[in-house]
Amino acid sequence: MSFDTPAGTRGTRQPTGRFFRWINQLMTRRIRRRGGQVMGFNALILTTVGRKTGAERTNPVGWFPADDGSRLIVASAAGAAGNPAWYYNIAANPGKVRIEVDGHTIHVTAEQLHGADRTLAWKQITTASPRFAAYQDKTDRELPIIRLLPRPSQDGV
């Protein structure tokens, strides 16, 4: 599936800057230490490869279980007009993504949901966390939903 969600023309201000990076680092340490929930939903640590730099980037992200055992994440950026940077990193390198959940590192392949798959996932996500419906109301872009599928291990990796 393609990663093809363009930025919108309206939305909230995307969280950025030194303070936001510090909060992300704090949340990442907390998730690694305790696992569990952040802000009322399940959280994981998403590691992507930068599309421009090739450097690894780590972000705490909320996730939702999918019916097939995969995990769903939403590139909401709190309802900003633009997609979060990690969305573009995943789009450039969908097979170079890993997540940390409950103390386990899992290599995953990312795919963006479209059509009926997205509609069903969106209903599940907004039922579990109405906050995402509010984020969608703030922007004119369709918030991308990404499915994270575990990759078969290769040579114990």
CA distance 53 to 75: 21
* pLDDT tens digits along 69-96: 899 999 999 899 999 999 999 999 998 9
Structural domain spans, the chain: 17-150
Residue 152 pLDDT greater than 50, yes or no? yes
Mean pLDDT, all residues of the chain: 89
- pLDDT band with cut points at 50, 70 and 90 for residue 41: confident
Reported as a pLDDT band with limits 50, 70 and 90, residue 157 is very low
Looking at the structure, give the CATH architecture of the domain made up of residues 17-150. Answer: Roll (2.30)
pTM of the entire predicted model: 0.89
Could you please report the per-residue DSSP string of 53-107?
A: T--EEEEEEE-EE-TTS-EEEE--GGGBSSPPHHHHHHHH-TTSEEEEETTEEEE
User: pLDDT class for 5, splitting at 50, 70, 90?
Assistant: confident
pLDDT > 80? residue 20: no
